[in-house]
């Protein structure tokens, strides 16, 4: 399996990704984007070794490297926007398990494309690197980032916030940002530990948030926020410690940000229909896009959108031009403080139709097209309106189903929504019945409301 994914470099440390390869990636990046280059890394155990290799590669191909230290990914985005460099990279595997790592990079203002990833891979393989030596300086960009947030946010009224960094890179940053904004903070798992001993680095898996919810209840917080491993995603919990569906959080942001300024809003096509409906209610233009950070960000920038969001917990803000889990969390706190209502009440007003979780099925790359074709044929036979923005989506008058390939693993993902639970079961069974027996067996154990 290639480490060169659609949007970044990612693989299992020591098996798929090693320091020698990251050194060559550093040389290739400096060759592709000569000049000043920002470098950071997350809290993973393997990150110091891999980041050192990346920096060494950048220097050996002549880059003027500014080392940002250990940072959440939004600090890199901030530093690129507010500094002189036009390129940067951070060593991270985002929300993936502890044994994974990778390189997330940017060259210029646009997100990484498949063509850019192919250029990187080709440059690494050819080894035709620019010569060095470069220079190395350090920049405490996280401090400047905190100053920026302190100037932007001021609590309309004091709230109590439970901050769960999941032992990730947001731990040293998020609590201070909330305190400087005037909120009372209780910290949970805010000491970085790249083994992620307290929970999964992916809070979009709500099943890992039991201890977070208990901490919210125990300390009496007004709400909680859980960050992923590199801090570009956020998941919210209400005052009872119950996770708020990410689509509902996006709807709350839509209602806040489009109230006096209707604009397009970009969202991934597997989102609940409540997102589209909320955009229309606020006078905005719904812009569905294929799932994936780079695809959402590209469409978000192209449309001059005030907001974009993914089911995974990425929230993009036009004010920034990128996604930022901490900015999202501070915006949620501002929203709650302004409204003077509990998060449970605001989220409870948003009624999602019955919808499945994002169901992942193991599927070899060689079989993925066949599986999608099977589902498409079954849906066509039932009179569905088909689209192929990403995978196959089948729309019916009373629901939809979507099957798409994973961009990071040998998997396909399935999701469906319908007006009633009975119809949701029918759509789910339609997709399951079209797949091979092995997939039907895996789907037989899936539980959903």
Query: What's the confidence (pLDDT) of residue 365?
Result: 86
Query: What's the confidence (pLDDT) of residue 449?
Result: 56
Query: What's the confidence (pLDDT) of residue 237?
Result: 98
- At 223, is the secondary structure helix, strand, or coil? strand
Query: What's the confidence (pLDDT) of residue 406?
Result: 78
Q: CA-to-CA distance for 348 and 346, rounded, in angstroms? A: 5
Q: CA-to-CA distance for 211 and 188, rounded, in angstroms? A: 9
Closest CA to 267 of 279, 256, 258: 279
- The Cβ of residue 169 has, within 10 Å, a number of other Cβ atoms equal to 33
Residue positions annotated with a catalytic role: 94
User: What are all long-range contacts of 252-257, with beta carbons under 8 Å and residues at least 24 apart?
Assistant: 252/332, 252/335, 252/346, 252/347, 252/350, 253/307, 253/309, 253/315, 253/328, 253/331, 253/332, 253/335, 254/278, 254/279, 254/282, 254/284, 254/307, 255/282, 256/331, 256/335, 257/306, 257/307, 257/317, 257/318
Residue numbers of the chain with a pLDDT score lower than 70:
1, 407-408, 448-449
Closest CA to 28 of 119, 111, 133, 90: 119
Write the burial class of residue 64 (CB in 10 Å: 0-12 exposed, 13-18 middle, 19+ buried).
middle
Query: What's the confidence (pLDDT) of residue 448?
Result: 64
Q: Hey, what are 177's tokens?
A: 């940002």
- Is the distance from CB of 85 to CB of 79 less than 8 angstroms? yes
Report the percentage of the chain scoring pLDDT > 70.
98
Q: Hey, what are 429's tokens?
A: 């069974």
pTM: 0.94
Query: What's the confidence (pLDDT) of residue 443?
Result: 83
Query: What's the confidence (pLDDT) of residue 408?
Result: 63
For residue 90, the number of C-alpha atoms closer than 13 Å in the C-beta half-sphere is 26
The single-letter DSSP state of residue 233 is B
- The Cβ of residue 312 has, within 10 Å, a number of other Cβ atoms equal to 22
Which helix (H) or strand (E) covers residue 148, if one does? helix 141-152
Partners of residue 64 on adjacent β-strands: 36, 135
**Structural domains of the chain sorted by starting position, each given as residue range(s) with its CATH number in brackets:** 9-140 (3.40.120.10), 159-348 (3.40.120.10), 359-443 (3.30.310.50)
- The Cβ of residue 182 has, within 10 Å, a number of other Cβ atoms equal to 16
- At 226, is the secondary structure helix, strand, or coil? strand
Q: Match 């909320």 to its residue by tokens.
A: 278
The residues, ordered by sequence, that sit 6+ positions from 121 with a Cβ below 8 Å of its Cβ are 2, 4
The pairing of beta strand 184-188 with beta strand 160-164: parallel
């Amino acid at each position: 399996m290639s480490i060169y994914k659609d949007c970044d470099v990612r693989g299992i440390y020591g098996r798929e990704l090693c320091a020698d390869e990251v050194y060559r990636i550093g040389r290739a990046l400096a060759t592709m984007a000569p000049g000043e280059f920002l470098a950071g890394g997350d809290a993973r155990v393997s990150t110091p070794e891999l980041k050192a290799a990346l920096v060494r590669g950048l220097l050996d191909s002549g880059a003027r490297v500014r080392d940002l230290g250990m940072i959440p990914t939004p600090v890199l985005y901030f530093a690129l926007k507010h500094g002189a460099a036009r390129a940067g990279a951070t060593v991270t595997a985002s929300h993936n398990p502890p044994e994974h790592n990778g390189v997330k990079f940017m060259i210029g203002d646009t997100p990484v494309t498949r063509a850019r990833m192919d250029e990187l891979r080709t440059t690494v393989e050819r080894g035709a690197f620019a010569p060095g030596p470069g220079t190395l300086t350090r920049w405490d960009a996280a401090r400047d980032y905190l100053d920026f947030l302190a100037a932007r946010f001021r609590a309309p009224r004091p709230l109590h916030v439970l901050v769960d960094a999941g032992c990730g890179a947001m731990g040293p940053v998020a609590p201070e940002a909330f305190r400087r904004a005037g909120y009372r903070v209780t910290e949970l798992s805010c000491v970085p530990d790249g083994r992620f001993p307290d929970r999964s680095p992916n809070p979009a898996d709500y099943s890992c948030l039991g201890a977070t919810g208990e901490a919210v209840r125990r300390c009496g917080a007004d709400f909680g926020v859980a960050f992923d491993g590199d801090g570009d995603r956020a998941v919210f919990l209400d005052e009872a410690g119950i996770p708020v569906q990410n689509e509902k959080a996006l709807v709350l942001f839509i209602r806040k940000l489009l109230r006096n300024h209707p604009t397009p809003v970009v969202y991934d096509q597997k989102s609940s229909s409540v997102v589209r409906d909320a955009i229309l209610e606020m006078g905005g233009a719904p812009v569905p896009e294929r799932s994936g950070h780079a695809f959402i960000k590209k469409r978000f920038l192209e449309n001059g959108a005030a907001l974009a969001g993914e089911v995974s917990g990425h929230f993009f803000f036009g004010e920034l031009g990128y996604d930022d889990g901490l900015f999202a969390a501070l915006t949620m706190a501002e929203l709650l403080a302004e409204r003077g209502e509990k998060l449970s009440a605001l989220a409870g007003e948003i009624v999602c139709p019955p919808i499945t979780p994002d169901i992942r099925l193991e599927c070899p790359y060689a079989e993925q097209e066949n599986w999608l074709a099977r589902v498409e044929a079954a849906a066509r036979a039932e009179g569905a309106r088909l689209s192929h923005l990403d995978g196959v989506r089948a729309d019916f008058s009373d629901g939809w189903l979507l099957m798409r390939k994973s961009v990071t693993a040998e998997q396909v993902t399935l999701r469906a929504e319908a007006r009633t639970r009975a119809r949701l079961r029918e759509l789910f069974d339609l997709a399951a019945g079209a797949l091979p027996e092995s997939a039907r067996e895996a789907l037989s154990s899936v539980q959903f409301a």
